[in-house]
C-alpha cells in the first residue's frame, strides 16, 4: 500500500503538470476518493463480519460437541450391563481423539481424525448391540438419539473448520486496499503536504484489520483461537 501510494503521487505529478489543472481537478478527485474509501470500508466490514460469525459458530459447535459427549455418557448409564460399561469404555478413546482433533494441526490432526473415526465405528457397533438388546424400550431410543447427536456434532465441527473465506475474496480485498492506496496518493498529490504520516498510519490500520480477518478465519493457526477447555473438562471427567 505504501508503494502504491508513492506511485499515485508520481502519477499525478506526471499527468498533471499545470497548476490550474490541479486546482480544477482536486474537488473531483476528493469526490472519487470518498467513494473508493467508502467501498473499501464496506468490503472490510463485510469480510470482518463473516470471520467473526464463523468464530462464534466454531465456539458454539465446540460447546455442542462437549454437551453431546456428556449426554451420551449419561444416556449410556440407562443401558443394562454389560452394555453400559461397553458404551462408556468406547466413548473415552473417541472423546480423547476428538479433543486431539480440536487442538492439533497438520499430520497430527490427520492421525487424530483417523483415530476418532475408528473409535466412532467401535462405539456405533456397541450402540447397535445395545439398541437391539433394549428393543422396544425407552432406553433404546435414548441411546440412539444420544449417538446421533454425538455424530452430528462432530460432523458439523469438521465441516465448519474446513470453511474459510474464499481465497478469491481475500485476494480481491487485498488488491482493493492497494488500489485505494494508489488513488489516495493521486488525490493528495496536489496538496503542498503529501500527508505521508497520516496515510501510512491509515495503511497500518488497514493491514491490522486485514490480519485480524485472516486470524479469525483460521481457527487453530492464529492468535485468536476458540478455547477447548470446556471440551477438555468433559473428556477428563468421563468415568
Contact (CB, 8 A) for 4 and 182: yes
pTM for the predicted model, two decimal places: 0.78
- pLDDT digit string (tens) for 169-194? 889 999 999 999 998 888 887 666 66
d(CA 102, CA 89): 21
- Cβ burial, residue 60 (10 Å; 0-12/13-18/19+): middle
Q: Are 231 and 61 in contact (CB under 8 A)?
A: no
| pLDDT at residue 96, as a whole number | 93
Count CB atoms within 10 A of the CB of residue 28.
10
Which residue bears the cell 497520516? 198
Cβ atoms within 10 Å of 195's Cβ, excluding its own = 16
Cell of 214: 485472516
Interval 131-155 mean pLDDT: 91
The one-character DSSP state at 79 is S
Rounded Cα–Cα distance for residues 33 and 14 (Å): 19
| Residue whose C-alpha cell reads 492439533 in the numeric block | 104
pLDDT at residue number 167: 86
pLDDT tens by residue, 11-53: 877 776 654 554 544 556 677 788 888 899 999 999 999 888 8
Omega prior to 135 cis, within 30 of 0: no
Amino acid at each position: 500500500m505504501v508503494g502504491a501510494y508513492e506511485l499515485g503521487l508520481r502519477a499525478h505529478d506526471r499527468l498533471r503538470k499545470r497548476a490550474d489543472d490541479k486546482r480544477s481537478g482536486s474537488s473531483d478527485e476528493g469526490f472519487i476518493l470518498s467513494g473508493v474509501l467508502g467501498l473499501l470500508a464496506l468490503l472490510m466490514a463485510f469480510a470482518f463480519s463473516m470471520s467473526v460469525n464463523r468464530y462464534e459458530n466454531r465456539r458454539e459447535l465446540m460447546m455442542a460437541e462437549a454437551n453431546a459427549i456428556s449426554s451420551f455418557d449419561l444416556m449410556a448409564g440407562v443401558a443394562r450391563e454389560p452394555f453400559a460399561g461397553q458404551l462408556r469404555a468406547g466413548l473415552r478413546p473417541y472423546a480423547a481423539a476428538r479433543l486431539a482433533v480440536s487442538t492439533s494441526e497438520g499430520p497430527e490432526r490427520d492421525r487424530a481424525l483417523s483415530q476418532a473415526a475408528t473409535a466412532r465405528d467401535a462405539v456405533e457397533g456397541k450402540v447397535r448391540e445395545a439398541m437391539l438388546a433394549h428393543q422396544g424400550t425407552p432406553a433404546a431410543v435414548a441411546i440412539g438419539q444420544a449417538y446421533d447427536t454425538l455424530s452430528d456434532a462432530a460432523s458439523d465441527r469438521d465441516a465448519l473448520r474446513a470453511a474459510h473465506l474464499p481465497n478469491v475474496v481475500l485476494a480481491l480485498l487485498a488488491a482493493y486496499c492497494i488500489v485505494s492506496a494508489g488513488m489516495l496518493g493521486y488525490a493528495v498529490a496536489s496538496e503542498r503536504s503529501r500527508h505521508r504520516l497520516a496515510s501510512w498510519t491509515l495503511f497500518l490500520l488497514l493491514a491490522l484489520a486485514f490480519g485480524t480477518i485472516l486470524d479469525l478465519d483460521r481457527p487453530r493457526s492464529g492468535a485468536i483461537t476458540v478455547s477447548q477447555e470446556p471440551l477438555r473438562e468433559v473428556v477428563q471427567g468421563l468415568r
